[in-house]
Copies of this chain bind each other. A is one copy, B any other.
Amino acid sequence: MTEAWIEEVRWDAQGLIGAIAQDHASAEVLMLAWMNREALSRTIELGEAVYWSRTRGRLWHKGEQSGHIQKVREIWADCDRDTLLLRVEQMGGIACHTGRRSCFSTRYEQTRWHTVEAVLRDPRHIYRGS
């Protein structure tokens, strides 16, 4: 059964919507990922962020390997209903697969990109055996 609220989201031609994850406590923007209908339904059921991995072509329960689960506190849609904003509690304090707090770790300054955020945990220790 397709519920009304899920069709009130403006899914793109691929059936996807961009979802921004923001840290609920610090308000830091952590990442942008994608969801399809199933990912959004699962997110709501679980209370944890489930995205659609475009590169892997499958559902991706964020933190399934790393343990860096995102507990979803609030889900917002924008005025066009074509972008979502998740306010999350980031388990482990690390959202990025590079071991950084946020994926937005590279800053533009004076015609160059500078990666300025610290690695909190070596990715080799996050993804053992992967």
Task: List A86-130 residues whose CB lies under 8 Å from chain B.
Answer: 96-98, 100, 103-108, 111-113
Residues of B within 8 A of A38 (CB): none
Given A29-B20, A83-B32, A85-B29: A76 and B5 within 8 A (CB)? no
Interface residues on A, range: 35 or more
Specify how many copies of this chain sit in the oligomer. Answer: 2
Among B31, B76, B97, B113, contact of A106 (Cβ-Cβ < 8 Å): B76
The distance from the CB of A104 to the nearest CB of chain B, in whole angstroms, is 4
A30 nearest in chain B by CB position? B78
A74 nearest in chain B by CB position? B107
Residues of B within 8 A of A85 (CB): 29, 104
